[in-house]
Structure 1
Amino acid sequence: MVRSTGYTVTVKETETVAAASPVGEHRLPLSNLDLLLPALDVGVFFCYKKPKGKHCRSLASMVWSLKASLAETIETYYPFAGEVVANSAGEPELLCNNRGVDFDVAQADVELRSLRLCDPSESVEGKLVPHKKGGVLCVQVTELKCGSLVLACAFDHRVADACSTNMFLVAWSELSTSKPLSCLPTFRRSLLFPRSPLRVDRSFDRLYVPFSSLPPPEPDHSEEAINRIYYIAAADIDRMQSSTKGRTKIEAFTAYLWRALAKTAAPGDNWCRMGIVVDGRARLRDTAMSSYFGNVLSIPYGTLRVDELLRMEVAEVAEVVHSWLQREATEEHFRGLVDWVEVHRPEPAVARVYSKEGGPACVISSGREFPVAEVQFGWGKAAFGSYHFPWGGSTGYVMPMPSATADGDWVVYVYLLKKVAEVLEAEQPPVFRTLTSDYYLP
């Protein structure tokens, strides 16, 4: 039983769902890009209103359907049914042994309308999104007092990025409704093999750093980090973009957030860093990359002086974002990053923007392909959905996703220092708007 401010979640059933027809047990190496990810779990959840009319189903029927289709889905997406183990060099790799997916069924004495999803630390963390106890993936289905349903997963980020998880979620919903799979994943690690001979550009030393070369930790000033979920109206996104003279929505959004971040710099913080997670699938010229399962991510970032940022217009900042983003979002960048990791193996490395090097820093993630409208299991579309990643570091994390409610709106999950969230909430005209149940349950 999990107690929380305002409501209680009680786990009623616990089962491990395995593939009925598993692949033979084998080890699947992680790619060099997987090896850039530390052992962190990522959550994702979907809220469904109580089924009515033609969608009306009992909880038992819905749970049975979810389990049966999950068992079928992990026949194809078998890494999610395995375990992460160490190889002879001490590096993580996948043991594809059909361990299975831990699956909990729970009840919560709260209605969907009463959930304060704007504060996921209170309403979601450890209650609706489960903590993974083993394996690669775990699932929790929670029935709310009003008959609504919350479906949540947590997965090991070393095994899959958001794109891979989105493919899995869509496949699960397709098999649940007896549809053919629209995409078959590929696990061909050769797509991300290093080149021979290696071609290592030392510019990657600015973007990534081996653990042994990390700067010593700075004093802990115990600044409070918080989780929030906001929404941004389509009109505000368009207004932001129109002010940046033809730059993309994400470049305009990054520029806006970078300037806001600079306003929170402490005395002595001279620099402010902003990064963007870039998916390399479209940059790597192989048709199989579009369905590649794993991590194909890089995190280029820019650094500007705080005083300079505060003097610049959003349009000027967007030009800076565009310049470093375009320079790094290429096939050569991703091939070079694979080679750079190869040179440093088996020592792990991490994106330097996450290191504590002084001054505020934030990363904008790649959630704009979140399939919130597509993940349907036979009882209607989700009323709300979001990723959930309270990773615990000092660098902020912001993930814009499409809204389930309004075309063109964004739902934005943030993990930020409290003072940064307060600046965003106070900006005029408002952009980061408070999420209430009236937004997703009109």
Structure 2
Amino acid sequence: MVSSKDYTVRICRKETISAALPLQEHWLSLSNLDLLLPPLDVGVFFIYAKPPLESSASTFASLVNVLKASLAKSLVTYYPFAGEVVSNSMGEPELLCNNRGVEFIEAFADVEIAELDFHNADRSFEGKLVPRKKGGVLTVQATEMKCGGMVLGCTFDHRISDAYSFNMFLVSWSEISSGKQISTIPSFRRSLLSPRRPGHFDASFNRFYIPSSQLPPLTKSSESINRIYYITAANIDRIQEMVTDGGPRRTKLEAFTAYLWKLAGRQAGKHVSHMGLVVDGRKRLGLAMDAYFGNVLSIPYASMEVGEMEVKEIGEVVHGVVEAAAREEHFRGLVDWVEVRRPEAAVARVYVEEGMSVVVSSGRGFPVGELEFGWGKALFGSYHFPWKGNAGYVMPMMSGRGDGDWVVYAHLCREIVEIIEDNSDGFFEPLTVDYLGIKGNVNRLGEKIIGFMLN
């Protein structure tokens, strides 16, 4: 297996892709929930096998042409990704929809997909196959691999889009690329998240969020690393049974969070540790929010010593955190809480708590099985979020195999990673090419090629 130190990525071309049709320049305000996000970039990537020779896009050049043409068409509908974030007269970020375009990078990696270390994302993906965004809202990189396959990486500004919104865009992009009609037209109606008059909110928001004027100095406590695991469907069920243990049934995500907190709490020892959960408010705010584009997130959390606690007890705490936030009033109150403090910015407090902090966000809607641009489904896809804060970030996603397994992206301090890998009862398995079913073959002429199969 080749590490990232053993291969290089050569940038071959950079181009700006603008919307295919002229767009009138205008401003799009950020909602109060958008304003809770600091300038953070989130990455995703998808890995595709070399297209068959009979495919209309059988070469990397033809693949790239299809991607660029369909991206330009997609930006007509998803025009915020072609804009840029600037400060308004109040000093708040605002989106200028000026069709400045998306930077599109073409690259070549002198490594085969089957030689990538999928478990150690720092070795194989960080800074190589997932682009760093230097301007605008979105950057895309298409990398040709030595075996003829391709890695499609995207990095976007979290202030403009949450994962739900970006998933909508990705699916629409692939639909256009395949000659289909867009299945979801995004809504940019900021009035759906307008503050109430008069506003009112629960005092708990003063605990969950912190104004920027009260932020403590950020000091990096320990090295964070990026890893990707898989958990079998059977083991997900086992974790759920452990946490439920004859009591009220907990969701799989709640059970996973409780189990992870129990493991991570060992790093904190007898000190208080913190666990946050990203809760999506769309289902709580009505059907009109189904296609809403932007951030509709809250990050409540709990703090306690978990060392001697049973995982079932931890599950009860996790469930309580989710239950309190998964209500319309919670999100309406959060909008009102932000309004009272504007223009001062605020962020989720769990990200700046002292000691061990981890945030879990569900990526189970990640559309890895839906992104067909015209040359087959992705072999694998994942989020990639190596942010610079102290809190860890963990995102479980459904495996593209369709068998109920989970793929788990983890950005955690090295000490927690060691605990997970040494003491997780074998639940967290390192992601490998064998699990993904990526194998090497030999063709009739004896020339080494890479074939791809999904088990």
Tell me the TM-score normalised to structure 1 length.
0.95
Q: Secondary structure at the match of 1:5?
A: helix
Structure 2 partner of 1:213: 214
- How far residue 294 of structure 1 moved from its aligned partner, in angstroms, is 0.4
Q: Is 1:139 paired with 2:140?
A: yes
Partner of 1:273: 274
State whether structure 2 residue 395 is matched by structure 1 residue 395.
no
Quote the residue 2:446 is aligned against.
Answer: none
Look up the match of 1:383: 379
Confirm whether residue 437 of structure 1 aligns to residue 433 of structure 2.
Answer: yes
Q: Deviations over 1:341-360 (max 9, x none)?
A: 0011111100010113x221
Matched residues in 2 for 1:9 and 1:428: separation?
Answer: 35
**Distance change >3 Å, CA 428–CA 339, structure 1 → 2:** closer
Aligned to 1:333: 330
Structure-1 separation of matches of 2:4 and 2:114: 16
1:352 aligns with: 349
Q: Report the more deviating stretch, 269-278 or 246-255.
A: 269-278
Is the aligned partner of 1:227 residue 2:226?
yes
Alignment of 1:218-297 (within 5 A): 221=221, 223-245=222-244, 246-265=249-268, 270-285=271-286, 287-297=287-297
* Superposition map of 1:16-35 within 5 A: 16-35=16-35
Deviation, structure 1 residue 35: 0.4
Return the alpha-carbon distance in structure 2 between the equivalents of residues 84 and 423 of structure 1: 40
| Cα contact 1:36–1:351 (8 A) shared by 2 | yes
Shift of 1:154: 0.4
The residue that corresponds to 2:163 in the other structure is 162
**Inter-CA distance 395–66: structure 2 relative to 1 (3 Å threshold):** same
Residue 105 of structure 1, CA deviation: 0.8
Indicate whether 1:374 and 2:373 are aligned: no
CA distance in 2, matches of 1:26, 1:124: 36
Q: Which runs of 4+ in 1 moved over 6 A?
A: none
1:77 matched residue in structure 2: 78
1:61 aligns with 62
Distance in 1, matches of 2:400 and 2:22, equals: 34
- Letter paired with 2:187: T
**Other-structure match for 1:315:** 312
Q: Partners in 2 of 1:59 and 1:352 — Cα distance?
A: 45
Deviations 1:261-303 (A, max 9, x none): 110015xx62111011011100102x22000000000001111
**Aligned partner letter, 2:333:** G
| Distance in 1 separating the partners of 2:424 and 2:32 | 43
1:141-176: CA deviation from partner (whole Å, max 9, x where unpaired): 001000111001000000000000000000000000
CA, structure 1 residues 22+315, in 2 after alignment: closer, same or farther (shift >3 Å)?
A: farther
The separation in 2 between residues aligned to 1:270 and 1:37, in whole angstroms, is 28
Residues 14 and 249 from structure 1, CA distance in 2 versus in 1: closer, same or farther, beyond 3 angstroms?
same
> By how many angstroms is 1:425 displaced?
0.6
- Matched position secondary structure for 1:47: strand
CA positional deviation for 1:311: 2.1
Deviation track 1:93-146 (CA, whole Å, cap 9, x = no partner) reads 000000001001111100000011211212111111111121100100001000
What aligned pairs does 1:59-208 form with structure 2 within 5 A after superposition?
59-208=60-209
Per-residue Cα deviation, 1:55-75 (whole angstroms, up to 9, x for no partner): 461111111110010000000
- Whole-angstrom distance in 1 between the partners of 2:322 and 2:204: 14
Residue 36 of structure 2 is matched in structure 1 by: 36
Distance in 2, Cα, partners of 1:350 & 1:371: 28
Deviation string for 1:384-405 (max 9, x for gaps)?
1001000011111001111123
Alignment: residue pair count: 431
Q: 1:394, 1:189 → 2: CA distance?
A: 32
Q: In 1, distance between residues paired with 2:424 and 2:229? A: 15
Q: CA deviation at 1:440?
A: 1.2
Distance 2:204 2:50 in 1: 53
Amino acid at match of 2:34: D
Shifted more, 53-62 versus 13-22: the winner is: 53-62
Tell me by how many angstroms 1:439 deviates.
1.3
Map Cα deviations across residues 285-324 of structure 1 (whole Å, 9 max, x no partner).
2x2200000000000111112xxx2222222211111112
Q: Please state whether the residue corresponding to 1:347 is helix, strand or coil.
A: coil
CA contact (8 A) 1:279 1:366 kept: no
Whether the aligned pair in 2 keeps the contact of 1:113 and 1:441 (CA below 8 Å) is no
Give the C-alpha shift of residue 428 in structure 1. Answer: 4.5
AA of the residue aligned to 1:331: E
Name the CA distance, whole Å, in 2 between partners of 1:63 and 1:368: 28
For the residues of structure 1 that align with 2:341 and 2:298, how far apart are their CA atoms? 17
Q: Which amino acid aligns with 1:288?
A: A
| Structure-1 separation of matches of 2:21 and 2:53 | 35
Give, in angstroms, the shift of residue 436 of structure 1: 1.1
| Residue type at the aligned position of 1:198 | G
Identity of aligned residues (%): 60
The structure-2 alpha-carbon separation of the partners of 1:174 and 1:104, relative to structure 1 and needing over 3 Å to count, comes to: same
* Equivalent position SS for 1:416: strand
